[in-house]
Structure 1
Amino acid sequence: MTNTMPHGAALLLGFIREAEVGSSDRASYDVIYAHKQNALAKPLTTMTLGEVIAAQKTWSRAHGSSAAGGYQFMRATLLGLLREIPGLNEEQIFDPALQDSLGLHLLNRRGFESFVSGEISLSEFGRRLAMEWASLPVLAESEGEWRRVKRGQSYYAGDGLNRALVKPGKLEAVLQEVLAASRSSDAASGSAGDVLSSTVRPELRRKPVARSGRFWTWLLTAGGTIITALKELNLVALDWRVQLAILMTIVGFAIYAISSMPAVRVAIGLGR
């Protein structure tokens, strides 16, 4: 599994591989239907996607099915994915990473995101998974591909080929585990996001100007300076124009000092 695979999806895909081919290890990705992979000229995971699709033409007749890889992709499924997924091409190697990516695409197509978000029920998601992977059982009685099927049966029961290889209770337990893992991952992501936002944009929590200690310090300092200047310079004896110039200079410095404060600039719309 790649590191970018959601934890819940990785759990479910590992379970599906084991249900489909009997194991979830590295060798599971090389399996073809009926475990006839030893008859291949080279391992499945070293073939290109185009080579796999070409080889699958004869597998249905020779082995009974064209299913290939850890998720037992049918030839029609791979052809459909080639048309559906941007960037996917026949030259790509059919290795575990590509198979996992295609498996995740199938999960999403069957409603994985809707399931973990609570938009569809566990039973409904189980039915959709059974439609994609014949080894998985439906979790409630429903219409199958060929007939009405009971809980625990394959969606494709009645075709003479497929049957469920997993007990419905086991699938339900795994899906509950997937839900828990997905919600834990979402919660962790949310906490990380909260921490990130609090460190990247600390200015969003600045105090209001009226509660800023620095603002009142500058204001009182400016007022005190003006009063002191009036006393020390004996401005009463000076020409009124000189008095005005001195006062304007002192007030100007005070205004500049106060307006340079970030909180004040935000309050009067000069910046953030």
Structure 2
Amino acid sequence: MTHTMPHGAALLLAFIREAEVGRNDRASYDVIYAHRQGGLTKPLTAMTLGEVIAAQKTWSKAHGSSAAGAYQFMRATLIGLLREIPWLKEEQIFEPALQDRLGLHLLNRRGFASFVSGEISATEFGRRLAMEWASLPVLADTDGDRRRVRRRQSYYAGDGCNKALVKPDRVEAVLRQVLLPLAPRMRHRNRRRTCRPQRCGPKCGTGPLPVPGGSGHGC
């Protein structure tokens, strides 16, 4: 992981690597779909991004999917990222650091910041993650890509190819770990949003602070 990687994101990406390719070590970055990387002329992490995208064109037919790397990037995903991210170039080596940066970009695109700030629930964030990584299950019954799916199933259940490879309680446990370092900050923020009896008097209790100049909740 790069030194700029948020701790919670690094934790979650390590979990995703293990879910997607069965391991989260250095070798995970060289994995292609169905672990067919042994047939490559050179390791995935020695290829340029452009070389990976070019090679992926034949992998769907040969291996069943174009998924590549620790986060099992699909060819369409990499092409989309190449168009979307200004700093990303075909000449860049598809090394672990680059894969991590792209993985973080996908996390952010799926609402990582909104999750850690409390704007969306773990269930909703889990659904978004399941839309990005087919090995992850949805955390509640929802409409999937092809049909209604149940908690513990892949968002893409029914496509004849994908299935969830981890249980939902494991996803939920990791998401709790992601939030754990933020808990004191969130509690402090919540305290600041509530009325303080020593400032507002005993009748106010723990209600919201009044808005200056407005009616609000009287003290």
Q: How does 1:58-137 map to 2 (within 5 A)?
A: 58-137=58-137
Tell me which residue corresponds to 1:152.
152
Q: How does 1:204-219 map to 2 (within 5 A)?
A: none
**Structure 1 residue 145, shift from structure 2 partner:** 0.2
The structure with the greater share of residues assigned to helix is: 1
| TM-score (normalised: structure 1) | 0.67
- Give the superposed CA RMSD: 1.2
Contact 1:59/1:65 (8 A) holds in 2:
yes
Point out where structure 1 has 5 or more consecutive residues left out of the alignment: 188-272
Aligned length: 186
**Structure 1 residue 2, shift from structure 2 partner:** 1.1
CA distance in 1, matches of 2:109, 2:184: 21
Tell me which residue corresponds to 1:249.
none
**Structure 1 residue 3, shift from structure 2 partner:** 1.3
Tell me which residue corresponds to 2:8.
8
Matched, 1:171 2:142: no
Contact 1:7/1:185 (8 A) holds in 2:
no
**Structure 1 residue 185, shift from structure 2 partner:** 9.8
Q: Match of 1:142, as an amino acid?
A: T
Q: Match of 1:60, as an amino acid?
A: S
**Structure 1 residue 180, shift from structure 2 partner:** 1.1
Q: Match of 1:158, as an amino acid?
A: G
Matched, 1:56 2:61: no
CA distance in 2, matches of 1:184, 1:53: 41
CA distance in 2, matches of 1:17, 1:26: 10
CA distance in 2, matches of 1:53, 1:81: 11
- Kindly name which structure, 1 or 2, has the bigger radius of gyration based on alpha carbons: 1
Q: Match of 2:94, as an amino acid?
A: F
Detail structure 1 runs of 4+ shifted over 6 Å in the superposition.
Answer: 184-187
**Structure 1 residue 77, shift from structure 2 partner:** 0.1
CA distance in 1, matches of 2:184, 2:112: 15
Q: Match of 2:52, as an amino acid?
A: V
Tell me which residue corresponds to 2:202.
none
CA distance in 2, matches of 1:96, 1:132: 19
1:146-204 per-residue CA deviation (whole Å, 9 max, x = no partner) reads: 000000000000001000000000100000001113x16979xxxxxxxxxxxxxxxxx
Q: Match of 2:45, as an amino acid?
A: T
CA distance in 1, matches of 2:130, 2:162: 11
CA distance in 2, matches of 1:6, 1:149: 32
CA distance in 2, matches of 1:3, 1:166: 28
Q: Give % identity.
A: 78
Q: How does 1:36-55 map to 2 (within 5 A)?
A: 36-55=36-55
CA distance in 2, matches of 1:4, 1:58: 35
Q: Match of 1:178, as an amino acid?
A: V
Q: Match of 2:48, as an amino acid?
A: T
Cα 1:121–1:184, aligned 2, differ >3 Å: closer, same or farther? closer
CA distance in 2, matches of 1:53, 1:185: 44
CA distance in 2, matches of 1:54, 1:150: 36
Q: Match of 1:125, as an amino acid?
A: F
Tell me which residue corresponds to 1:194.
none
Point out where structure 2 has 5 or more consecutive residues left out of the alignment: 187-219
CA distance in 1, matches of 2:184, 2:125: 20
